[in-house]
């Protein structure tokens, strides 16, 4: 559907294909494989819509939540993956439905700036960044990218800036990332809205059930994003038509159909999709804390992207600057360091050296390796191939047509609308 109501409900997510079998909604019982945020949201939304339908959610690990995880030690609190959400009514609706409204707040106004390290100087990302690319070069690149199948490097012909954006989202450089996947509005991938952008934005802003986001802000939950998955887990356990199974590995949709005696079209696959032509990259995450006086020269903001591969880290996120809720002890600031394995050999001394160069030469109050994230690739042409793909069951989630938390949450609403 491409009607106005759908565009107000889902915004630019309407540009992304929905890989759902028509017969899924006709099932008496469905099996959702993957207990991350996508699987949990789909189970929740479908169970709400069809309380008589039997829903089985299967997760291979012993915990639900997937990549959403929050580390804490005393007053230090840091998310390992997603730490906040950009503006989208679907996320606001989920927060409200889970009873988390009072714990959900916009980011601090002092932390709206973002920077990129170009050479040895930090450049603030803004509309003026376009002049570094060159308006004429950018317009030519945009025209070319609208043909489809181009890389982000082709869309944004300034490699350090393009790399900074892709490294910060999918952990690889811009020539390896599909522009249609990362920026479908710019490339005009998929259907276009049936009304002007300004009019659509006004209607979307009027639809937020909680506070209307201010320009440049994000929003987050007190205690970290694991608060969201914990609330979802609690809600799912209370629903009579939902069965949660952890610690069970299902190798394929066919295995899920056979194990639970359902037709293949009754399987909803939200787990990572492993294909021969798709690579996986790894990223280590570190939490680093300093006394305020030791990082007083670091401006308050969202963080700094580092495209230069001579640095082991690709990004520094200002965790305690950003969130409305406390993430560090009094008198301290917390930073999250992103370290692609393509740049790093595992020697933590090199991370400490880079921290001394980019943050402070003072000894940190906290230095903690939080763990490793595994991120799928989305090569140029990915979305075009996806939109033409023949599917045997339904595929949604991080591994399918979108990587952001807003995509995952909104996609679950789109799937439930089919029931």
Query: Cβ distance 56 to 43 under 8 Å?
Result: no
Q: Which helix (H) or strand (E) holds 75?
A: none
Burial of residue 108 (CB within 10 Å: 0-12, 13-18, 19+) is middle
Per-residue pLDDT, 142: 86
Non-local (6+) Cβ contacts of 33 within 8 A are 39, 58, 250, 253, 256, 267, 268, 269, 270, 271
Q: What is the chain's alpha carbon radius of gyration, rounded to the nearest angstrom?
A: 21
Give CA angle at 220 (215, 226), nearest 5°.
Answer: 155
Q: In b/e form, how buried is each residue of 239-277, taking b as 16+ CB within 10 angstroms?
A: eebbbbeeeeebeebeebbeebebebbbbbbbbbeeeee
d(CA 142, CA 19): 27
Residue 330 Cα distances to 127, 323, 369, angstroms: 35, 14, 22
Q: Which helix (H) or strand (E) holds 282?
A: strand 280-291
Per-residue pLDDT, 399: 86
Counting every residue written for the chain, the total comes to 419
Give the three-state DSSP class for 43. helix
Give the three-state DSSP class for 58. strand
Burial of residue 368 (CB within 10 Å: 0-12, 13-18, 19+) is middle
Per-residue pLDDT, 1: 46
Per-residue pLDDT, 2: 66
Per-residue pLDDT, 43: 98
Quickly count: other Cβ atoms within 10 Å of residue 394's Cβ.
27
Query: Cβ distance 354 to 366 under 8 Å?
Result: no
- Per-residue three-class SS string for 293-338: HHHCCCCCCCEEECCCCCCCCCEEECHHHHCCCCCCCCCEEEEEEE
The pair of three-digit structure tokens given for residue 211, joined into one six-digit string: 């506070």
Under DSSP, the state recorded for 149 is -
d(CA 168, CA 404): 12
Non-local (6+) Cβ contacts of 65 within 8 A are 35, 36, 37, 40, 226, 229, 230, 233
Alpha helices in 135-280 (DSSP H): 135-145, 152-155, 159-170, 179-182, 184-187, 197-205, 226-237, 253-259
Per-residue pLDDT, 279: 86
Quickly count: other Cβ atoms within 10 Å of residue 205's Cβ.
13
Task: Average pLDDT across each block of 10 residues of the chain; the chain has 419 residues. List them in order.
Answer: 88 96 95 98 98 97 96 97 95 98 95 91 85 83 90 94 94 96 94 93 96 92 97 98 97 96 97 79 97 97 95 97 96 98 96 96 98 94 93 93 94 97
Per-residue pLDDT, 130: 74
Non-local (6+) Cβ contacts of 82 within 8 A are 67, 68, 225, 405
d(CA 223, CA 220): 9
Give CA angle at 48 (45, 50), nearest 5°.
Answer: 105
Per-residue pLDDT, 131: 77
Quickly count: other Cβ atoms within 10 Å of residue 186's Cβ.
16
Query: Cβ distance 105 to 324 under 8 Å?
Result: yes
Q: Which domains does the chain have, with CATH numbers?
A: 4-68+204-276+385-416 (3.40.50.720), 113-173+280-376 (3.90.660)
């Amino acid at each position: 559907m491409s009607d106005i109501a759908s565009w107000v409900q889902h915004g630019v997510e309407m540009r992304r294909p929905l890989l759902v079998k028509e017969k899924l909604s006709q099932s008496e019982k469905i099996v959702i494989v993957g207990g991350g945020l996508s699987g949990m949201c789909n189970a929740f939304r479908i169970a709400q819509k069809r309380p008589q339908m039997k829903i089985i959610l299967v997760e291979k690990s012993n915990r639900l939540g997937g990549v959403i995880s929050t580390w804490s030690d005393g007053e230090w609190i840091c998310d390992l993956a997603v730490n906040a959400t950009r503006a989208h009514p679907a996320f606001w609706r989920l927060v409200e439905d889970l009873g988390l409204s009072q714990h959900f707040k916009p980011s601090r106004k002092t932390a709206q700036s973002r920077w990129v390290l170009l050479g040895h100087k930090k450049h603030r990302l803004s509309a003026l960044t376009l002049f570094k690319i060159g308006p004429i070069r950018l317009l030519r690149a945009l025209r070319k990218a609208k043909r489809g199948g181009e890389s982000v490097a082709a869309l944004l012909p300034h490699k350090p800036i393009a790399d900074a954006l892709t490294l910060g989202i999918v952990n690889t450089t811009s020539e390896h990332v599909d522009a249609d996947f990362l920026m479908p509005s710019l490339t005009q991938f998929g259907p276009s809205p049936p009304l002007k952008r300004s009019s659509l934005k006004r209607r979307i802003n009027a639809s937020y059930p909680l506070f209307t986001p201010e320009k440049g802000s994000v929003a987050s939950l007190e205690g970290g994003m694991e608060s969201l998955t914990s609330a979802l887990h609690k809600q799912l356990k209370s629903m009579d038509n939902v069965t949660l199974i952890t610690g069970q590995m299902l190798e394929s949709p066919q295995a899920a159909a056979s194990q639970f005696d359902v037709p293949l079209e009754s399987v909803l696959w939200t787990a990572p999709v492993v294909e021969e032509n798709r690579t996986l990259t790894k990223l280590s995450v570190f939490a680093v804390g300093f006394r305020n006086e030791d990082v007083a020269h670091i401006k308050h903001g969202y963080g700094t992207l580092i495209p230069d591969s001579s640095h082991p880290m690709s990004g520094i996120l200002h965790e305690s600057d950003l969130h409305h809720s406390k993430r560090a002890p009094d008198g301290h600031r917390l930073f999250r360091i992103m370290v692609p394995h393509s740049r790093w050999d595992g020697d933590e001394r090199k991370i400490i050296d880079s921290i001394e160069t980019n943050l402070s030469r003072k000894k940190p109050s906290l230095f903690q390796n939080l763990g490793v994230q595994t991120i799928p690739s989305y090569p140029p042409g990915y979305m075009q191939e996806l939109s033409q793909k023949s599917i045997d069951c339904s595929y949604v989630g991080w591994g399918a047509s979108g990587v952001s938390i807003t995509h995952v949450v909104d996609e679950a609403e789109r799937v439930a609308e089919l029931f």
